[in-house]
A = this chain, B = another copy of it.
Amino acid sequence: MTAITWQSVQAEALRRIRTREWPPGGQIPHEADLAEELGCARATVNRALRDLAESGLLERRRKAGTRVPLNPVRKATLEIPIIRLDVEARGQAYGYRLLARETTLPPPDVCATLKLQAKTPLIRILALHLADNTPFCLEDRWINPLAVPEIVSADLTTISANEWLVQNAAFSRGDFAFGATLATDTTALRLSCPQGAPLFTVDRTTWAAALPITAVRLSYAPGYQMRAEI
């Protein structure tokens, strides 16, 4: 029976940080000293402190040691589910409607975010996600067919591009930008909300290495909140 787990070491470290036994800006003992003091292996202390450093509560550098940051930059974890699961997790019935699908030349801003030549034709998808039959989220997406050729034969009337891409595109990197925009007249119509309503929006771009796959703007119906914990 080993009474000391890395979690217990972490809890003790957290206690010392919170009580300022390890003051902000100050150095904390070496792993080896802590291991001896707490009666465990250095690897156990390492696991505990490494984890705290990843969440921003400690700063570690080789040779320099470990210190408590003065202005910790805490890290919160955002869960990015497919929209269907997001709706279903709220206990609501999910619905989906493909509004438009075409292959056309993208506007300059889309070209820029995807770093593509202006003359590359892309697939544009416009779709509406519903929760309990009321508009939940409007998906305005551009897809690079060179990155996912199978998309041209995919039936996007029953499965959303959001879901299809998660399952079929081997993406390696993604950027997110969260913001607020006003509902334009057409957007308001589609989301069944007043024109000028404030919409929470997510602009997402995903890549397979250097190859751009897709850029999407998700406009959520008024009142939507994205949640996170720390």
* A19 nearest in chain B by CB position: B170
A101 CB-CB contact with B under 8 Å: no
| Contact present for A176 and B227 (CB under 8 Å) | yes
Least Cβ–Cβ distance between A64 and chain B, in angstroms: 21
Which residues of A115-143 have CB atoms within 8 Å of chain B's CB atoms? none
Given A180-B180, A225-B178, the answer on whether A75 and B76 have CB atoms closer than 8 Å is no
Q: Is the CB of A230 within 8 A of B80?
A: yes
Q: How far is the CB of A84 from chain B (nearest CB, A)?
A: 8
Scoring A residues 64 to 76 as 1 if CB is less than 8 Å from chain B, else 0, what string do you get? Answer: 0000001111111
Question: In the complex, are the beta carbons of B201 and A180 less than 8 A apart?
Answer: yes
Partner of A230, one of B174, B179, B181, B228: B174
Q: How far is the CB of A70 from chain B (nearest CB, A)?
A: 7
What is the size, in residues, of chain A's interface with B at 8 Å between Cβ atoms?
53
Binds B, one of A34-42, A103-111, A149-157, A192-200: A192-200
In contact, B229 and A176 (Cβ under 8 angstroms): yes
Given contacts A78-B228, A200-B179, A200-B180, are A85 and B70 in contact (CB under 8 A)? Answer: no
A7 to chain B, nearest CB (A): 14
Q: Is the CB of B78 within 8 A of A76?
A: yes
Show 21 A/B contacts (Cβ-Cβ < 8 Å), sorted by A.
A18-B170, A18-B172, A20-B170, A71-B82, A71-B167, A76-B78, A76-B80, A76-B174, A173-B229, A173-B230, A174-B229, A176-B227, A176-B230, A178-B200, A178-B226, A178-B228, A179-B225, A180-B180, A180-B200, A181-B198, A182-B198
